[in-house]
Structure 1
Amino acid sequence: MKQHTLSKKQKGPLGPLWLRCVLFAAAGFCMGLAVTGAMQWISTGTLPGVAEWALDYPGHLLMTALLWAAPVWVLGSLTGRLWLAALPAGALGLILALVDYFKNAINGTPLELADFGLAKQAGNVAGLAGDLTPPEDFYPAAAGLLLCVLLLLLTRRLTALEGTARGRCCLCSLTLAGILLTGTGTRAVGSWLGVDFYTRMDPAENHSLHGLTLSLWRDAFPQPKTPPEGYDEDFMRDVLERIDQLTEARQEPEARPNILFILSESFYDLTRLPVLQYEGDPLENFHALEAESVSGTFHSHYLGYGTGYLEIPMLYGLNALDLPPGTNICFQDEAVYERFDALAEQFTKSGDYTAEMLHAYDNTLYNRTVTYPLLGFNNLYFSDDIQQMDIERADGAYGGFYMRDGYFFQGMLERMKAVNESGKRAFLFGITMENHQPFEPQKFNYECQIPLVAPDFTPAQRDIIRVMLEGITRADQALGELVTALRESEEPTIVVFFGDHRPNLFMPGGDTVYTLLGLCPENDTLNWTEEEINDLYSTDYLIWANDPELLGDLAGSRRDSSITALGPQLLELTGRPVSRYWALLEKVGEVCLTQTDLYFVDGEGKASFSREEADLSPEALELLELRDAVVYDAVYGKRYITEEMNLPPGT
């Protein structure tokens, strides 16, 4: 009996209670430091990089460690086993770091809180990205965390808490976690440690400065968008009056053409890349059509990723900068998408148009089945629906990994015909997929119709470039087939064709084709110049019509456009009656093509890092301030004039 009692004492807590409480707190905080270090190791790729960040930003290090220590303390006190609490914390940290690495590998931008809106579709997103391999540093970082957990297991008697002490520790831990879960508490602790939780930053800068954990945490507690100075109903009535002074109502146009609005996945004029040469023109049709079209540079918001995040700004006019940091623009409260009449509704509200969306993939991504009906689209057709249209094509529905653009365009023509036969005009928004990543060498069965000349690249690198070349060639050929069919049609039709973003085109070893060509210094955008951002965040577009009179004297003209300017440009071209909101966006598009956290592009295509750095006239600044006021009123404010913004100017 005596021996049994002695054995139980040997397995129980070791040392006085005060010492075990101190060691419990210290061990939990050290585990927080370990998770922080492991994540930074995966992110920076080197241990010296972790040390440099820690020395430059000790407050950021301590705040991050505290954020990870808090759940370790809570779970440790609840379970009575600190080592057991460290396991999920370490695993979660590794998973987040790995997802961040993969997102950087896909498009050169870090993980943001907004990306968690796609969490339920993570499997589909990963499948679209292709093979994703963890970095070499992932495994030693994971081993380091396992070693820390093992040390906590071996020293568990020194941190063991029982009875009242354990309950008090649990209460203290929950209190601390509760403080950190509130914006006020987070900002108070952050202020003490010198962490800015107020200033909005570009995601790459936020990630580099604060690390992954803290950058995500900052997104969760954004500073509320500042209202315009003097914001009240009288102020917004003055805004409305000024908008009416700057815009004018339109008469119903006589021409009512069909509109085929086509987002061509990762399409751009790759002949503008240096060094690379092609034994033929991969954009033969696009280049020929430019002489008959309005065309030019198309400024995007992304590189290699984010198609769904581009659709909302194009069709609705709002962009991510209009929303709090960390907000996914595709997963807003449904009422947000109905504050303004969308682009399609500028056509459908007259009653003579039917709006439909066609997508060459399935309906699982970017919440499209919810947002598109709210944006005024009557019908949605995805890949399965298109394949039910009995389209006859000798080469089949699929090319590479996805539906052929040519097959998809035949589906758009079928829908246009059906809408026209119903007595209405068609406003069709189509999203292609044939040129979507992954750009793996076997994607098109190693086929490349146009020989590539790239002597400075390795065979493996040339194989990947050929996939991009073949994908863009096929997109161009499909455009040619579409235009040929429309030339033979008696139905007046306007085609708006643009590339949503350039492909990422990552090479073996981690570089991209753009870094290898010297177009940017590295994959991370943090150290890019505004000119490099503006170049690589741009594609090409054209607006073509099968009846030249629909373009008037604009055929063959060049004009820069963008995600947020192309819709207003179409409205201007077609003379559609527009709401005050879209009339204002037309005016804004003349002075600002792109405005994001990353960069600003004025109406002439000149880039700056921000609106404040751009050389804007007082008139341009006024237009941007009017837009800011209208957006604030609709999204954050009392909606004093939101209903009136959906009426024609002067109403």
Structure 2
Amino acid sequence: MFINIKSLKSKLLKKGSFSKAILFSFIISVVACFILQFFQLSHNIWAVTNWIVQNIGIFVLSFVFIFFLQLFLLSIIGNLYYSSTVTFIILVAIGYSNSKKISVLGEPLYPIDFYQIRNIKSLFEMIGGSVSLLHIIGILLLCGTFVYLYKKLPKMKVSIRLRVITFTLSIFVIYSYLHFSEGFINVLAAGAGVEVVLWNQPENYETNGFVFGLLSNLENNVMEEPEAYSEETINQIVEKYKLKANEYNKQRNVLTKGEKPNIIFVMDETFWDPTRLESLSFSEDPIKELYEIMSKHSSGLLLSPEFGGNTANVEFEALTGLSMYNLIPSSIPYQQSLSKESAFPSIVSLLEDKGYDTLAIHPYKKVFYSRDSVYSALGFNSFLGETDMKHISRLSENAYVSDQAVVDEVLDKLQNTDSPMFIHAVTMQNHLPIQAGRHGTNSITITGLEGELKEELETYSQGIKQSALAMRNLTDALSELTEPTIVVFFGDHLPSFSTSVYEEAGFTKADPHESERLKSETPLFIYSNFSMEKRALNTMSPAFLGVTLLDMLEQPLSPYYAMLQDIKSRIPGLKLDVMVDSDNNIKTELTAEEKSLLEEYKLIQYDLLKGKKYSCPLMFNDSDMHQ
């Protein structure tokens, strides 16, 4: 598109300044909306053009929203060109971030992602941020175009009166868009063809465009209030599980005879078994050291609620016993709910009440996912980030802190603390991006892939080989420790490879539930340096790790954990797109009793996250538990 500057200038001069500002803002809005779709649709101009033709109503409503954002800034700043520049730069940055997230994680940008804006530099590094020559040329061309236009176009002034009117109108329209499901914008959007698909966010954004994809998630609270929610209903659930807890507890003896074992949770970043890609051959098993541990101790698979990212949601389940199954898709409860709490019941607070020294270790920035505030609310006495750790060795100069360094930190704390400890360690070694040489020289070769895919998977395999060795070093060291100690190890989610590694390696199955299960299962084991029953853990969700541990130690259960035990006994694997039953088979239908159990679970979860907390403290009363 070529702009005839003289013609445009002539037209503008014939109108009042405000009319010129409106026209200019309109043009900027259309272009910005096109660019947002350009980033949304893989930088394909023809795909954007085709989408606009097929969804002209949605496109119009989208750029109208941007138009009023531009007018809002104009009313604040007062200078048309400055406000246009700010609007344009912000929207291009958002579009690029969306494109980058889609390419790395397969998911679009959500409103909740803006919580991490203060960590933008670190986020850019974590997802493999780089600026190509093409990006630089594009940025320079845009800057040059703006400078040229500003020099050639006439100066425009907008009176204070018109700025006030514009401010008021734009606030009204922007508010209506931000709450579009409640007002007249919803009617217009429905007429234009907007159909919100919250359970499939990539489709939601592709169908409705970036603007309405993003807007549809603004009102996406972690949970909607269940119809049956009331104090009376919650009290009935509490009474039911008080009786259940008493039944369970009558049959229990404290396995450790009063001695409190150290408990270590190791949530290993992006740890998974790539040999499950059946069409590939590996020169050696990358995690053979881990399988040796698993063969001697309770082990199975974790059904991660996430794929490729959102680590905090996995530890949310593991530490609280609550499930992402009950939440609205794309939720991040750490940031949306728990960061606002001063205290929140968890396995951490339970152990803290029993005299445990509770410590969280994460060898990266403490503010990510608001961990710095969330961990305190969960009951951690202390939290060590990357700058607080004594051990920070890396596998290469540009790598993250190694898993072995985390192991050394854990062992150091155990050996220098008299109280029994609960340590929750979240590693970083295998976090994206997967870059050649990051984990040292690759010692594993893979056949069945070529080129960049082969190198990517070999580099990843080298990383998890080092992680498995670190876990072997941890259990070897603990075997020499006189204090009873338990390790609960699990990978948080599968890696999100940059291209279709899973499809090319034959990972996709005909049954979508089976495919989802394969894309969700990571290694899991529970190790102890003292005699403890060995169990086949099969496939379970992280929400049931706490109750499984209490059960294996024959510890009395509070009503809350009695509820989790009931659910786990029927549906140990609970995820929105796949469920696994107690026989380790995929479950596609729920019985009436199971539906009732899950509804009770949902009510308690809502009560804790969004409701009045009627269930506290009765649901978590462990006064009858052995000390």
Alignment TM class, shorter chain as reference = 0.7 to 0.9
Matched, 1:585 2:564: yes
Q: Is the 8 A contact 1:42 1:138 kept in 2?
A: no
> How far apart are 1:500 and its partner, in Å?
0.9
Aligned to 1:623: 597
In the aligned structure 1, how far is the partner of 2:562 from the partner of 2:105? 34
Question: d(CA) in 2 for partners of 1:28 and 1:515?
Answer: 45
Q: Report what 1:397 is aligned to.
A: 393
| Residues 314 and 564 in structure 1, CA contact (< 8 A), matched pair in contact too | yes
Equivalent of residue 189 in structure 2, options 180, 188, 193: 193
Structure 1 residue aligned with 2:264, among 257, 260, 266? 260
Q: Give the 3 Å change call, closer, same or farther, for CA 257–223 of structure 1 in structure 2.
A: closer
Task: Give the equivalent residue in structure 1 for 2:5.
Answer: none
**CA spacing shift, 1:563–1:135, aligned 2, 3 Å:** farther
Q: Conserved in 2, the CA contact under 8 Å of 1:113 and 1:326? A: no
State the match for 1:442 in structure 2.
437
After superposition, give the CA deviation of every residue in 1:156-193 in whole Å (9 maximum; x if it has no partner). 58xx6755884575256435445436626864212223
SS at match of 2:335: coil
Aligned with residue 310 of structure 1, among 291, 314, 319: 314
CA distance in 1, matches of 2:124, 2:185: 36
C-alpha change, 1:632 and 1:406, in structure 2 (3 Å) is: closer
Give the superposition deviation at 1:578.
3.1
1:355 alignment partner in structure 2: 358
The corresponding residue for 1:633 is 607
What letter matches 1:408 in structure 2?
Answer: V
C-alpha distance in 2 between matches for 1:558 and 1:189: 50
Alignment of 1:105-504 (within 5 A): 105-133=103-131, 163=159, 166-167=162-163, 170=166, 173-177=169-173, 179-180=175-176, 183=179, 187-194=183-190, 200-222=198-220, 225-248=223-246, 250=249, 253-255=254-256, 256-319=260-323, 328-332=332-336, 337=341, 340-351=344-355, 353-387=356-390, 397-400=393-396, 401-419=399-417, 422=418, 424-445=419-440, 447-449=441-443, 451-454=444-447, 456-458=449-451, 460-504=452-496
Question: Whole-Å Cα distance in 2 between the matches of residues 199 and 339 of structure 1?
Answer: 34
TM-score (norm 1): 0.82
Residues 75-105 of structure 1, C-alpha deviation per residue, up to 9 Å, x if partnerless?
Answer: 4456665454332222111101111122223
2:6 corresponds in structure 1 to none
Q: In structure 1, what is the Cα distance between the partners aligned to 2:490 and 2:101?
A: 24
The 1:318–1:338 alpha-carbon spacing in structure 2 relative to 1, beyond 3 Å, is farther
Write the distance in 2 (CA, Å) between the matches of 1:185 and 1:284: 52
1:74 is aligned, of 69, 72, 75, to 72
Partner of 2:528: 545
8 Å Cα contact 2:319-2:346 kept in structure 1: yes
Q: How many angstroms apart in 2 are the aligned matches of 1:312 and 1:397?
A: 27
Q: Which residue does 1:392 correspond to in 2?
A: none
Q: Which residue of 1 aligns with 2:4?
A: none
Shift of 1:116: 1.5
Compute the TM-score of the two structures, normalised by the length of structure 2: 0.85
Q: Distance in 1 between matches of 2:390 and 2:134?
A: 43
Paired residues in the alignment total 605
Compared with structure 1, are the counterparts of its residues 233 and 100 closer, same or farther at alpha carbon in structure 2 (3 Å cutoff)? same
* Superposition map of 1:546-565 within 5 A: 546-547=529-530, 549-550=531-532, 552=533, 554-555=534-535, 557-565=536-544
Which residue is 1:14 aligned to? 13
Distance apart, 1:32 and its partner CA: 2.2
**What's 1:611 paired with?**
none
When structure 1 is superposed on structure 2, of 68-77 and 512-521 the one drifting more is 512-521
**Percent identity (aligned):** 20
Contact 1:267–1:540, Cα closer than 8 Å, also in 2: yes
Q: Provide Cα deviations, 1:184-230, integer angstroms capped at 9, x if missing partner.
A: 68642122231669874333232222222222222222479443334
**How far apart, in 1, do the equivalents of 2:253 and 2:341 lie?**
26
Q: Deviations over 1:139-158 (max 9, x none)?
A: 7799689869977986658x
Shift of 1:472: 1.1
CA drift of 1:630 comes to 1.1
Match of 1:28 among 12, 25, 28: 25
1:599 aligns with 2:585: no
Match of 2:546 in 1: 567
8 Å contact from structure 1 (residues 588, 623) kept in 2: yes
Summarize deviations over 1:351-406 as a string: whole Å, max 9, x none: 2x222222233434222222212212222233444327xxxxxxx93223133323
Shift in Å, 1:132: 3.1
Separation of aligned partners in 1, 2:81 and 2:511: 43
**What is the match of residue 519 of structure 2?**
536
Amino acid at match of 1:427: F
Which amino acid in 1 is paired with 2:516?
A: I
| Cα distance, 1:68 vs structure 2 | 0.4
Contact 1:312–1:329 (Cα < 8 Å) also in 2: yes
Whether the 8 Å contact between 1:90 and 1:145 is mirrored in structure 2 is: no
1:513 matches 2:483: no
8 Å contact from structure 1 (residues 63, 190) kept in 2: no
Q: Deviations over 1:429-456 (max 9, x none)?
A: 11222323322112134x123x313254
Q: Which runs of 5+ in 2 are unaligned?
A: 1-8
8 Å contact kept, 2:540–2:573? no
Q: Secondary structure of the equivalent of 1:398?
A: coil
Judged with a 3 Å threshold, the aligned counterparts in structure 2 of structure 1 residues 515 and 154 are, in CA distance, closer, same or farther, namely: farther
| Contact 2:220–2:331, Cα closer than 8 Å, also in 1 | no
